[in-house]
Chains A and B, each alone.
Chain A
Amino acid sequence: MSEKAGKRESGTAVRSSASRTDVGPVAPTRLAASPLDTGRLRVDFPILDRRIRGKRLVYLDNAATTQKPRAVIDAVSHFYTHENANIHRGVHHLSDRATVAYDEVRQKTARFLNARSPREVVFTRGTTDSINLVAQSYGRAFLTAGDEILITGMEHHSNIVPWQLLCEQTGAVLRAVPLNSAGELELEQFAHLLNERTRLVAVVHLSNALGTINPVKHLIGLAHVRNIPVLIDGAQSAPHLPLDVQELDCDFLAFSGHKLFGPTGVGVLYGRESLLERMPPCQGGGGMIETVTLERSSWAPIPAKFEAGTPMIAQAIGLGAAIDYVSQVGLPAIAAWEKILLDYATHLCNRIDGVRIIGTAQDKAAVLSFVLDGVHPHDVGTILDYDGIAVRAGHHCAQPVMRHFGVPATVRASFAFYNTKEEVEVLADSLVRVRRIFG
């Protein structure tokens, strides 16, 4: 694990942090470059010291949102304390600094995703916003009645509803690849559902409700044989798996800052440059234009064309700090540690009477979804909360997944690299207590 840590990222991340001396104390100081020392990393996350009802917080709701390292909190605070100004067109020093800092995050994000150019990185409010952008820009421009959009049965609502809206607007048809009983895609069905009417494929990389990792590179290859562009929902994969848009060869990839240890309110849409160039803007306003007359306007080059209005500047600065942080820890090391945690949690939960794990894919990461025989997930959630454990109980914005498994809801423990084996044991002990209370 230590050998792999940060192989791809650490060099660039350290360099880019060092070049931003003005932007504040964003570089984490105590990060070891190689081994994933959870004990030391946890110190970087102030909230992990919190006590809930007198118990130490065990935060296992990372698929909903992740906690923020001091480096991110400080970067946002530093920006507002010392550098706040609106970007672009300002001739004054602060505006220039803010513009540079904002653009640097775009470059950093491009490196993080291995995009060919920062022009392929559009800042959005988050994954949902990114997917809606593709639906309303690409979709409305290039899809017509009878065209098909292919998604899967394990999508988050944010990768279902934008396409349903698009279908209502254009007369396009939404199709979904079914799942098997383990919560994996039925791959033959994927190939079968791709046809001459398919115009777009949108697939989740790592399922938020099941933990399933989809073979997206393979799916992209199949779609590209028919010249069908593919959008990858990377909301869950970005914090857990190394992403390389050139290696995947995806056409769009969406993720959220707040699930990557960054602030809420900022996300990313990666788009292949040739596609972004052809796409019309879907919001008008300042920042996205070249010239405006009272009759007509022309658009700024990409990616500004898609960023109408004052963007989320401070949040983007925070995202930059988060990318630095994650890159220094190293996604390969993160993935390896989380695999150990997930396997351990799976092992302990399987020993508890009445636990049924929902989602048993071969290739799985960071998410343990389960039901407890005869106990509603909300009651489980309340009792775990009493022990200081934060999990999610509900449908996880994936109601079709719940229907597929015939459950109204599940309990979901989702891991981040700062979680420990001891925390997994606290979870298992608390589940035994639930069992005891409900008999």
Chain B
Amino acid sequence: MGSLATLYQDLILDHNRAPQNYRSMENANRRVEGNNPLCGDKLTLWLRMEGDRIRDVSFQGSGCAISRASASLMTAAVKGKTRQEAEDLFQRFRRMVTGSLDPSEAQSLGKLVALAGVSGYPIRVKCASLSWHALKAALDQSDGVVSTE
């Protein structure tokens, strides 16, 4: 079981207070709504793809500190990446928050490791994953609504 300090790190609290890429996007070419019906978290994700590359990404929504900080960190992490790179990152992120990440992979997650503490709180994994599910849906070109359920 993780300690509170590992879950609510300063980086998480900072991104919660002042999330990056927190805006709507006029010239987006993909838009996805994400919902966590269990807790009522909501998020809208905008993507501007250029070919296979994520040229811009932004989000808005309401949710807990974990979901806001995770969305903020996610947008910062995937901006400029190709679809494949972003999906690979999601896979590693998912392994990290569910506690099955190989330690050798940790470094490749960069600032996202701030969310590693979530693995000690299984109930909060969905909070941390909501924006990533929305990203995956947007990359899959399935405009619309995704849900963590």
Contact = CB atoms under 8 A, between A and B. Distances in A.
A375 B4 contact: no
A439 interface: yes
A376 B65 contact: yes
A382 B63 contact: no
A437 B64 contact: no
Contact of B1 (A53, A399, A437): A53
Nearest to A376: B64
Interface residues of A, number: 19
B4 A437 contact: yes
Contacts of B1: 53
Contact of A395 (B7, B17, B40): B40
Contacts of B62: 408
B3 to A, nearest CB: 8
A394 interface: yes
A243 interface: no
B40 A375 contact: no
B7 A382 contact: yes
A426 B66 CA distance: 24
- By size class, the interface of chain B is 20 to 34
Contacts of B63: 376
B68 to A, nearest CB: 8
A110 B137 CA distance: 54
B13 A439 contact: yes
Given A376-B63, A437-B4, A437-B8, A382 B40 contact: no
Given A379-B66, A382-B7, 20 more contacts: A375-B65, A376-B64, A376-B65, A376-B68, A377-B64, A378-B66, A378-B127, A379-B8, A379-B65, A382-B124, A383-B8, A394-B40, A399-B40, A402-B40, A408-B62, A409-B39, A437-B4, A437-B13, A438-B13, A439-B17
Top 8 nearest A-B pairs (CB, nearest first) are A376-B64, A378-B64, A379-B65, A408-B40, A379-B64, A386-B4, A408-B62, A395-B40
